[in-house]
Amino acid sequence: MDIKQAIIERHSVRKYKDDPIPAELVEKLGELIRGCNEESGLHMQLILDDPGCFDTLLAHYGWFKGVRNYIAIVGKETLPDLDELGGYYGEKVVLEAQRMGLNTCWVAGTFSREKCKAEIAPDEKLLCVISIGFGEEAGKKHKSKSLSKLCAVPAEEMPVWFKNGVKAALMAPTAMNQQKFYIELSGDEPVITAGKGPMTKIDLGIVKYNFEAASGHKCK
Ligand SMILES: Cc1cc2nc3c(=O)[nH]c(=O)nc-3n(C[C@H](O)[C@H](O)[C@H](O)COP(=O)(O)O)c2cc1C
């Protein structure tokens, strides 16, 4: 599966089968996460077989079931743009996981921060987690705001690469499906900015990753 297909097929999945993630996929994910951490300075961690983190009223309320594995998005509070970095690299892992046949869900609220087994140094912060495993189902397409609300460029004036990027941005996961971002074209350069509100900077990183992966053009 190529990355564009992974973007189309990725939906939040909250119910998981008991099947463990096979060792070869655990190794691949581990390598990927190590690479992302080296590049970004983040301290993302894959935590396996820890149902406790999602064994809370909040998680049940959020309709999570069978979550035993998750990726903790952790980083030094002093890292510039920590939220955006976490979103960007977390989404890279999410889309690679999708290509491996795994399902995921970004989770900032409906899990237990106290029971999370990630190592978090005193100068680090846990942004959120991403549940990961084999889903009971594949999830479904989210409702999206209209193109004109999210992008300044009229569809008929978009270069093909830009249109591919915008389509992928609209398919990106955002907290509470808020889609508080705006896409512009400055000369040849795509520019994506975040709206105001909680988690919009994490969303911004996620949306930028989707845009770049589908368009092949780096965002500002
Ligand atoms: C930063 C972030 C935090 C999220 N937190 C939660 C959460 O706490 N609980 C939950 O059930 N879903 C959470 N989600 C999942 C969103 O609700 C979901 O991505 C959105 O509704 C779009 O649906 P989709 O991912 O299927 O495309 C979160 C998503 C993001 C990007």
Q: How far is the CA of 107 from the centre of ligand 1 (A)?
A: 6
User: Over its length of 220 residues, how does the chain's per-residue pLDDT go in tens digits?
Assistant: 999 999 999 999 999 999 999 999 999 999 999 999 999 999 999 999 999 999 998 888 789 999 999 999 999 999 999 999 999 999 999 999 999 999 999 999 999 999 999 999 999 999 999 999 999 999 999 999 999 999 999 999 999 999 999 999 999 999 999 999 999 999 999 999 999 999 999 999 999 999 999 999 999 8
Q: Is the pTM of this model over 0.85?
A: yes
What ranges do the domains of the chain cover? 3-133, 147-215
What H or E segment, with its residue span, contains residue 107? strand 103-107
Q: Name which of 4, 59, 54 is nearest 172 in CA terms.
A: 4
CB 131 within 8 A of CB 159: no
Long-range contacts, 18-26 (Cβ 8 Å, 24+):
18/66, 18/68, 19/133, 19/134, 20/48, 20/49, 20/68, 21/48, 21/69, 21/102, 21/132, 21/133, 21/134, 25/100, 25/102
Rounded to a whole number, what is the distance in angstroms from the first to the last CA of the chain? 27
Q: How far is the CA of 80 from the centre of ligand 1 (A)?
A: 24
Q: How far is the CA of 13 from the centre of ligand 1 (A)?
A: 9
Show the ligand 1 pocket: residues with CB < 6 angstroms: 11-12, 14, 62, 105-110, 128, 139, 142, 173-177, 199, 202-203, 206
CATH of domain 3-133: 3.40.109.10
Q: What is the pLDDT of residue 132?
A: 98
Question: Which of 16, 88, 105 for mutating ligand 1's site (highest number of atoms within 8 Å of CB)?
Answer: 105
147-215 topology per CATH: NADH Oxidase (3.40.109)
Task: Answer whether 3-133 and 147-215 agree in fold.
Answer: yes
Q: What is the pLDDT of residue 58?
A: 84
Going by alpha carbons, the residue nearest to atom 7 of ligand 1 is 107
Q: Which atom of ligand 1 approaches the CA of 62 most closely?
A: 11
Q: What is the pLDDT of residue 17?
A: 98
Going by alpha carbons, the residue nearest to atom 31 of ligand 1 is 174
Question: Which of 11, 13, 82, 174 for mutating ligand 1's site (highest number of atoms within 8 Å of CB)?
Answer: 174
Q: What is the pLDDT of residue 141?
A: 98
